[in-house]
Structure 1
Amino acid sequence: MKLNKYILLVITAITSVIYTSCSKSNDAEPTVSGTGKVQLEFENLVGEEPLVLNTETYKNAHGDSYNITTFKYYVSNISLVKEDGSSYKVPESYLLMDASEPQSRFQTLEGIPAGDYKAINFTIGVDSARNFAGAQTNALDPAHGMFWAWSSGYIFVKFEGTSPQSTAKGNTLTFHIGGAKSPTNTIRTATQTFGGNLLRVRDNSKPEVHFAVNAATMFTGKANVDFAALNFTMGGVNSVIVADNYASSFITVEHIHN
């Protein structure tokens, strides 16, 4: 009788070990490998309103009214940050968004190592090395109207429009933000987290990151821009004022979809 009880206890123990082992094996997170794609969507706004070229009127923080005829900007040097803090720099990540070309708001990053990412780093503009490498191709092609031939540099953000408060001829607004040399360097970098969520890159899926791009941040932040006093800049100290305004709030992550 005692022998039978002993055998029963042994069988029960072995069964428990096998069940526990199987449970751990089944519950374990599978190892991810390969590469995947990530789609980026940039939604152009003025404050909380959609940015509409030519026909809509907005107000800046100073109270000046304005409309927008041109809105373009570069996002470059993109890195995705993993849970453990390591990062993957996306090669040749030079993206140009143009409000007059709706399809440009959708950009795809390819060859991203599979994994779970918690944040994204990027540059608003074009890095110094490429900025002084002369006219280039693809998004950096001068045909896009974002290159100063006279100074061999790129325009990082191009904003044009009109305002009744502007003292320029025709009440125009011309904000061409660029410059990569101190003391008028306007290259700005930003880091955006995914709000406590993780962007899950896999070889059989295409997660999305949705950004809000707020043109109004150009004219408020460190300094509220008065269009009667500042309505034209093509680099220089006035471009630094605008770049400092939008540095941390121009492009923000709204949400992600896995």
Structure 2
Amino acid sequence: MDNQIKWTKIGLIALIVFAIVSCKKVESPEIDGNKMGDFSIEFDNLVGDYGLQFDNMARPYVNAKGEPFTISRIQYFISNIKVKKTDGSEYVVPQDPVEESYFLIFGDDRNSRFAKVKVPEGDYTQVSFILGVDSLRSTMGLDKRTGVLDPTAGDHETQGMYWGWNSGYIFFKLEGNSAVISDDQQGDPTGRKQFKYHIGGFGGYNAPTLNNLKTITIDLTKAGIAQVRNGYRSNVHLFVDLMKVFNGPNAFRIAEHPNVMFSEYSQNIANNFPTMFSHDHTENGVTSEDQL
């Protein structure tokens, strides 16, 4: 019996020691600001409390004005990514090469939802980016506007994001259908009544014009800072609530504004854009080869 008690005590001591060792905090490697790590922003499109579904006539979305609608297309540019460390220092992702600093998010292509860049190792509490294409890049020669910025990419009536007649990028394209649109509005071949919001305007080249560029700033401290380390990827997961296009600070009726493009009213819609983005969580320590 004494031996049994003895070995039981030894076993308990071993378990306690094992638990202490197992719970010991593992110190992360010292941050080397000269090393670069993989950083990405994930844009997860939603509509209010629901996932994004296209042309769901059986279950349309309903905005704050009580108007039912469906979505058939959503595309937008993300550029000029900047991150801020815990010490307040900032890093701006270089604009060149274009393919690594300008991104076009397609709602119907899940593979396009990541904006992947490289930033120095560090702990980041804030990320910001521009929704749109900045004025400097918009006025550069065609040899400086390649990849997703190629003005000839995509059919203008579908995936194209450039106004040939206006020599400017469409920063944000949202299209869909709603029964509230009056009969005199143009419908598609199926008889559905379309709305189209093509929002652009970088401020003008030779003279001031519409400026609908919006800088989006995301605080990462509440849902997880980004801990960027060489050899790993840190991914900031954002929700993009498309319902806020209609229900933001400048709420409007689809019936009254079914088609908005290069007009003064586009500024009202653009002012709703910053409210679309919210930080859900951050994934740190993901191996660079993994697919999120």
Question: Is TM-score (shorter-chain normalized) higher than 0.5?
Answer: yes
Q: CA deviation at 1:250?
A: 1.7
3-state secondary structure, aligned to 2:267:
helix
Look up the match of 1:152: 167
Q: Distance in 2 between matches of 1:122 and 1:107?
A: 10
Instruction: Give the conservation status (yes or no) of the 8 Å contact 1:195–1:255.
Output: no
How far apart in 2 are the matches of 1:159 and 1:103?
Answer: 19
User: Runs (4+) of structure 1 moved beyond 4 Å?
Assistant: 26-29
Higher helix fraction: Structure 1 or Structure 2? 1
- 1:20 aligns to what? none
Partner of 1:214: 241
The question of 1:187 aligning with 2:213 is answered yes
Moved more, 217-226 or 43-52: 217-226
Map residues 134-173 of structure 1 onto 2, 5 A cutoff.
Answer: 135=142, 136-142=145-151, 143-144=153-154, 145-167=160-182, 168-170=185-187, 171-173=193-195
Are 1:103 and 2:111 counterparts?
Answer: yes
Equivalent pairs counted in the alignment come to 231
Could you give the per-residue CA deviations for residues 114-162 of structure 1, whole angstroms, max 9, x where no partner exists?
A: 1111100111111111223365211212314101111110001100111
Mapped contact 2:31–2:121 kept (Cα < 8 A): no
Q: Deviations over 1:16-73 (max 9, x none)?
A: xxxxxxxxxx979724241110132111000121111122511111111111111001
Q: Give the fraction of aligned pairs with identical amino acids, expressed as a percent.
A: 35
Equivalent position SS for 1:219? helix
Alignment match, 2:66: 63
Structure 2 unmatched runs, 5+: 1-25, 96-100, 155-159, 188-192, 285-292
Q: In the superposition, relative to structure 1, how do residues 63 and 203 fare at CA in structure 2: closer, same or farther (>3 Å)? A: same
Structure showing greater Rg: 1
Q: 1:133 & 1:64 partners in 2: Cα distance? A: 41
What is the match of residue 227 of structure 2?
200
**Separation of aligned partners in 2, 1:67 and 1:243:** 20
TM superposition score normalised by structure 2? 0.74
Match of 2:277 in 1: 251
DSSP 3-state at the match of 1:130: helix
Secondary structure at 1:237 match in 2:
coil
Q: 2 CA distance for matches of 1:89 and 1:47?
A: 32
- Please tell me the root mean square deviation across aligned C-alpha atoms, in Å: 1.9
Letter in 2 for 1:36: G
1:178 maps to 2:187 = no
Q: Deviations over 1:146-199 (max 9, x none)?
A: 011111100011001110011222221010011122552111112101134321
Task: Find the aligned partners of 2:36 and 2:230 in 1 and give their Cα distance.
Answer: 5
Residue aligned with 1:103, SS: helix
Match of 1:81 in 2: 84
The structural deviation recorded for 1:97 is 0.3
- Deviation readout 1:208-249 (Å, 9 max, x if unpaired): 110111111111222221111101011221211100122x21
Aligned equivalents of 1:49 and 1:139: distance in 2?
29
Between 1:127-136 and 1:53-62, the stretch displaced more is 127-136
Q: Tell me, in whole angstroms, the C-alpha distance in 2 between the residues paired with 1:166 and 1:27.
A: 60
Unpaired runs of 5+ residues, structure 1, are 1-25
Q: CA deviation at 1:200?
A: 0.9
The 1:57–1:134 alpha-carbon spacing in structure 2 relative to 1, beyond 3 Å, is farther
Summarize the alignment of residues 10-21 of structure 1 with structure 2, pairs less than 5 Å apart. none
Are the counterparts in 2 of residues 65 and 163 from structure 1 also a CA contact under 8 Å? yes
Question: Equivalent residue of 1:185, what SS?
Answer: coil
- The answer on 1:117 being equivalent to 2:124 is yes
Question: 2:76 and 2:47 mapped to 1: Cα distance?
Answer: 15
Distance in 2 between residues matched to 1:125 and 1:73, nearest whole Å: 7
d(CA) in 2 for partners of 1:122, 1:178: 16
Instruction: Return the TM-score normalized by structure 1.
Output: 0.84
- AA of the residue aligned to 2:79: S
Match of 1:12 in 2: none
Q: For residues 223 and 194 of structure 1, what CA distance do their matches in structure 2 show? A: 26
